[in-house]
Structure 1
Amino acid sequence: MKKYDDILIGSGPAAYKMANLLAKTDRKVLVIEGFEYGGTCPNYGCEPKIFLEGAARTVLQSQQLLGRGISQPAKLDWEALMQTKLKRFDPWPGETRDIIKKSYDIEDGYASFVDNHTITVNGHQYRADHIIIATGQTPNILDIPGKEYLYTSYDLLSLKELPQRITIIGAGFVGLELATLVAAAGAEVTIVVHSDRVLREFTKAEDEVLVNAMKQRGIKFSFNTDTQKVSQRKDGLLVITNHGEVQADYVLDATGRHPNIEKLALENTDIEYDRHGINVDDHLMTTVDGVYAIGDVVNRKQPKLTPVAEFEGQYLFDYLTGKTDQDIVYPTIGQAAFTFPEVARAGVNPDDVTGDSQYQVKTVSLKYGSLYAGQNDQISTLTLVFKDQQLVGASEIGDYAADDINNFLPIIGLKINGDEYRQKVMAIYPTLGDKVAGLLP
């Protein structure tokens, strides 16, 4: 049985971050990957999604400016766009594998635990001082009749030909972002929503504005609707719900993701986990000494985002190499849905403090600024949350909400007050950044 200093199970953003750091040491490391090297983000997640979003945004903004200087809106060529995307992203798993192999031993296969401190892959058994589980999450597939007709975001993000009618089950980040993309390319989109609203991470008001904007572009929503069955018909697919039937050529299951732990055989260990992920302590150690978990596979309250995963990879490297013995403390985390318009937020959610006298909520329409007016962005609205004159939360809906909210992250995270900001920062005029100083008390 071969022994290592560290075994990384997975090669996504958390593990890849840690692997790059370990490469600067003399530690003996094994990296195990049974899926695509690099994980979901660079192959089937945020990287290709934002790449495709660039073309979709241009199309939608040109439509928004029709009659205001634009006489002919842009048209998205899905096949050409996808060819460009595949050319860029298809080589990434192999390139990532080659990079890792230069520094470490690798095993192409799925690892499973034999006991608390022994794993097996491809018939080989290994032990290590530290075993790090970084297997991420994988898309859900509804367990309904006809589930064989359901596709995931992995499939859609490599779809070479665009179906005419697409039904999307689920209205979280993935469902709404991909609905925005395929609708911009000309598909007829229906979104089936189990509950009465979308994106609960943001405010209810922002959700309503987003849904209305998507409806105006022809995207249909069916709220409080349960998908019961998918059937194959001569003229396509039929999605059967408790509120009727929807005809489709393609059905995307965007009902969320779950921890990618099925193949780990955790039942052979004392590692505790639930449907939200693997339980860890403040040093990211599981309930088994010497076994750690990082990235989206972890059961934690912080959003499951690539920067959070990389932050955990950095922290665990520092902890295991003796650079820190402190508990992990997460920074202020920004998150966004790259829909059109975008929604973004950081810190305290305004809805969570409604009626609480300790907080002051300030809402500002941005549509009168020259930048937004020039883009015919009529709905951009910024909401700020203050406590004792200190900014503690910010959220926005608008064409560039993600970039706008990034202006406020340092102020929240570093606890900068208005006077300090005005003395140290003079932003580019006439962007939103230029207005930040006047928004702070």
Structure 2
Amino acid sequence: MPRYDEILIGSGPAAYKLSNLLAKTDHRVLVIEGNQFGGTCPNYGCEPKIFLAGAARAVIQSQQLVGRGISHPAVLDWHQLMQTKLHRFNSWPAETKANIERTHDTISGYASLVDKHIVRVNGVNYEGERIIIATGQSPVVLPIIGNEFLHTSTEVLSLKDLPSRITIIGGGIVAMELATLVAAAGAKVTMLIHSNRILRAFPSQDVQKVVAAMEARGIRFEYNVTPEAIETADGGFVVQTDHGSFPTDYVIGATGRRPNLDRLHLERVGIKIDHQGIIVDEHLMTNIPGIYAVGDVVSRPEPKLTPVAEFEGQYLFDYLMGQEKAPIKYPVIGQATFSFPEVALAGVNPDQVIEDSAYQIHHQSLKYGSLKAGENDQTSELTLVYHDDHLVGVSAVGDHAADEVNYLIPMIGLKISRKQYQQVAIGIYPALGDNVGNWLK
């Protein structure tokens, strides 16, 4: 039976980070991947999504500048954009696999646990001193009649021809980003939301501005709607709900993601899980010694994001090599929805402390600066949360919200006061970050 020091199940950001670090050692490593090498982010997630969003962003920005120096707004050619995207990304899985194979063994196939040291792939057993599970997540498929007609973000991000009418079921980050993208390309978009609120991870005031801007561009939001079935009709489809029917040409399911656990047979070794994924301790080890989990498959309160997965990959390497003995401690984590306008957050969410007198919340409109006025960015606003005179949270909405929050994340993590910041830095003017010192209290 082939034996390895580490067996990595999955090759996404967490496992890829860990495999690159292990490549610097003399360890014998096996990397197993049941889908595309590289995982979700570079193949059918954040990387192709932000690539496509670049063109969508340019189109929407040109539209909001009509009458302010722009005579004819840009038009997005979806077919051409998709061909450009496919040309860039189609080779990535093979390239990622080749990169790993320079130093490690690889197998294409789905792994399952036989015992705490043995993994089976394609009918062959492999022994590992340590097993690291990094299988990530996949889109939830709604259990409704006709769900075979549902499409996921994976399919949308490689969709060669754009349907005229698109219905999106869901109101989370993926749903909002896809709605922004396909609407910018000319599709008529209807969003069906199960509750009365979307983007629950972000401040409600910021989200309201995003929705208002998207509605002004013709995107339709239907709240408190529960889909019950998808039926074929007149060459298209009809989404039947508890509040009426919605004719469409294409239905996207974006109701969340679930951890990829089904094929692992964790029950054979007794690994504990919950609905969010694999339960790990403060060193990312499961309840079975020698078996670890990293990335989006882990059950944890921190956002399931690519940088967080890579952070865990780095931590686990340091821990396994004896370079780190302390429990994992997550830094300040920024997150954003790349809709248009964007919405972003780091640290304390102002919604959660609005009635707590120990916190002070300050709202600052940014739309009056020359850069924002020149872009006609009318939604831009920053919200700062303070505790004991330290910045502990920041949220933003606007055309550049993600960048604006990124500028302030170090000040939260390092607990730098406004005075301390102004003593060590003067930003480039005029640019997005030139007013950081003024933003701070």
Shorter-chain TM-score range: over 0.9
Gaps of 5+ in 1: none
Q: How many residues align?
A: 441
- Residue type matched to 1:154 in 2? T
Distance (Å, rounded) in 2 between the aligned partners of 1:2 and 1:433 = 53
- Residue type matched to 2:262 in 1? E
Deviation at 1:373, TM superposition (A): 0.4
Deviation at 1:399, TM superposition (A): 0.2
5 Å matches for 1:61-210?
A: 61-210=61-210
Q: Please tell me the root mean square deviation across aligned C-alpha atoms, in Å.
A: 0.7
5 Å matches for 1:220-239?
A: 220-239=220-239
Deviation at 1:2, TM superposition (A): 1.8
Q: List per-residue Cα deviations over 1:386-426 (Å, max 9, x = no partner).
A: 11111000000000000111110000011111111000010
Distance (Å, rounded) in 2 between the aligned partners of 1:394 and 1:50 = 23
1:417 aligns with 2:422: no
Q: List per-residue Cα deviations over 1:60-105 (Å, max 9, x = no partner).
A: 0000000000000000000000000000000000111111111111
Percent identity between the two aligned chains: 60
Distance (Å, rounded) in 2 between the aligned partners of 1:229 and 1:318 = 49
Residue 78 of structure 2 contacts residue 160 of structure 2 at CA under 8 Å; is this kept in 1?
A: yes
Counterpart in the other structure of 1:334: 334
Deviation at 1:45, TM superposition (A): 0.3
Counterpart in the other structure of 1:50: 50
Distance (Å, rounded) in 1 between the aligned partners of 2:324 and 2:128 = 21
> 414-423 or 70-79: which moved more?
414-423
5 Å matches for 1:255-334?
A: 255-334=255-334
- Residue type matched to 2:59 in 1? V
TM-score for both structures, normalised by structure 1:
0.99
- Residue type matched to 2:410 in 1? P
Counterpart in the other structure of 2:13: 13
Counterpart in the other structure of 1:440: 440
Deviation at 1:211, TM superposition (A): 0.8
Deviation at 1:117, TM superposition (A): 2.4
Deviation at 1:292, TM superposition (A): 0.1
Residue 116 of structure 2 contacts residue 288 of structure 2 at CA under 8 Å; is this kept in 1?
A: yes
Distance (Å, rounded) in 1 between the aligned partners of 2:440 and 2:211 = 30
1:404 aligns with 2:404: yes
Counterpart in the other structure of 2:34: 34
Deviation at 1:374, TM superposition (A): 0.4
- Residue type matched to 2:274 in 1? D
Residue 82 of structure 1 contacts residue 160 of structure 1 at CA under 8 Å; is this kept in 2?
A: yes
Deviation at 1:115, TM superposition (A): 2.0
Distance (Å, rounded) in 1 between the aligned partners of 2:275 and 2:440 = 41
The alignment partner of 2:110 has SS state of coil
Q: List per-residue Cα deviations over 1:284-325 (Å, max 9, x = no partner).
A: 000100000000000000000000000000000000011111
Residue 229 of structure 2 contacts residue 241 of structure 2 at CA under 8 Å; is this kept in 1?
A: yes
Distance (Å, rounded) in 1 between the aligned partners of 2:436 and 2:342 = 19
Deviation at 1:270, TM superposition (A): 1.3
Residue 343 of structure 2 contacts residue 402 of structure 2 at CA under 8 Å; is this kept in 1?
A: yes
Q: List per-residue Cα deviations over 1:160-213 (Å, max 9, x = no partner).
A: 000000000001010000000000000000000011011011111111111111
Deviation at 1:331, TM superposition (A): 0.6
> 426-435 or 59-68: which moved more?
426-435
Distance (Å, rounded) in 2 between the aligned partners of 1:152 and 1:437 = 42
Distance (Å, rounded) in 1 between the aligned partners of 2:439 and 2:107 = 54
Residue 116 of structure 2 contacts residue 290 of structure 2 at CA under 8 Å; is this kept in 1?
A: no
Gaps of 5+ in 2: none
> 286-295 or 428-437: which moved more?
428-437
Distance (Å, rounded) in 1 between the aligned partners of 2:110 and 2:439 = 52
Distance (Å, rounded) in 2 between the aligned partners of 1:131 and 1:63 = 52
Deviation at 1:6, TM superposition (A): 0.2
The alignment partner of 1:231 has SS state of strand
Distance (Å, rounded) in 2 between the aligned partners of 1:418 and 1:377 = 26
